[in-house]
Amino acid sequence: MASLPAVALTTAGLVGGFATARSTKNRPLGGAVLAAAGSGAFAVWKKDSGLPAAIGLTVLYLGAFGGSHLLAKKIGAWPAVWTVTGATAIASLLTPKKKS
């Protein structure tokens, strides 16, 4: 199981990035939050689970971000953000740690 810091970082990136972009009306600033948190999560995933898992989880994280835009058209913005955040958190938690 991956560590909770990665889950906290991805949640901060997806939820915090959206909240930042929405509240400031500055999408690039929200993207910066998303990128910074994603970079931190990548480092944690790499340490905990290895490079291939870190790459896969980062692709999932970025896909969740993109997918939230499509999902928002069907269920609304905040429900979409929470849905993709939950999916990313579950995937992160279920990723096995590498053997030391």
Say what the pLDDT of residue 46 is: 95
Give the pLDDT confidence of 32-74 residue by residue, as tens digits. Answer: 999 999 999 999 999 999 999 999 999 999 999 999 999 999 9
User: How does residue 3 score in pLDDT terms, banded at 50, 70 and 90?
Assistant: confident
Percent of the chain with pLDDT over 70: 97
Which amino acid does the sequence have at 73? K
Break the chain into its structural domains and give their ranges. 4-94
Residue 89 tokens read as 């958190």
Give the pLDDT confidence of 73-82 residue by residue, as tens digits. Answer: 999 999 999 9
pTM: 0.92
Contact predicate 41/57, CB 8 Å: yes
User: How does residue 1 score in pLDDT terms, banded at 50, 70 and 90?
Assistant: low
Which CA distances in Å does 25 have to 21, 22, 33? 5, 5, 14
The predicted model gives 78-99 an average pLDDT of 94
